[in-house]
Amino acid sequence: MAKTSLQSPKKGKIRSPLRQAAEARGRHAEALVEQRLAEDGWATLDRRCRTPLGEIDLVAEKDGLLAFVEVKGRARLLEAAHALTARQCARLSAAAEYWCALHPGHGEAGIRFDLLLVDDAGKMRRIADAFRPE
């Protein structure tokens, strides 16, 4: 049986239109963030990086500073600001540690975790060094 556009390519599950819209919003937000980071001099090293410990939206580096970037796209910036949970921070931290083990030689000037918020109008807010791993 051929998969429809509603089915997840990995699990074969049917995705609701709401889930599809959320995914599309997230991908669009990630593209906007990647463009903004490039304009600010950041080099994208990885995007939508899946590890056994979690997914990293973007990995970027500028002047030896390595940033693991979590992108949150929501209708309004305030909604996006409240979308990052402690559990997500822990998963991102573990995934980043895994990524660093596979890609030595990056982050000579340090490593940080940035949160970039994007609303439906494309307005963006960057929270540099948004959290520190425990």
Q: What are the pLDDT digits (tens) for 112-125?
A: 999 999 988 889 99
* Contacts for 79 with CB less than 8 Å, ≥ 6 apart: none
The structural domains of the chain, ordered by start, are 17-127 (3.40.1350.10)
Look at residue 86 and tell me whether its pLDDT is greater than 80.
yes
Please tell me the predicted confidence (pLDDT) of residue 46: 96
**Using an 8 Å Cβ cutoff, are 39 and 20 in contact?**
no
Compute the distance between CA of residue 55 and CA of residue 52 in angstroms, rounded to an integer.
Answer: 8
Please tell me the predicted confidence (pLDDT) of residue 81: 72
Over residues 16-33, the mean pLDDT reads 88
Q: What is the pTM of this model?
A: 0.83
pLDDT band of residue 77 (cuts 50, 70, 90) is: confident
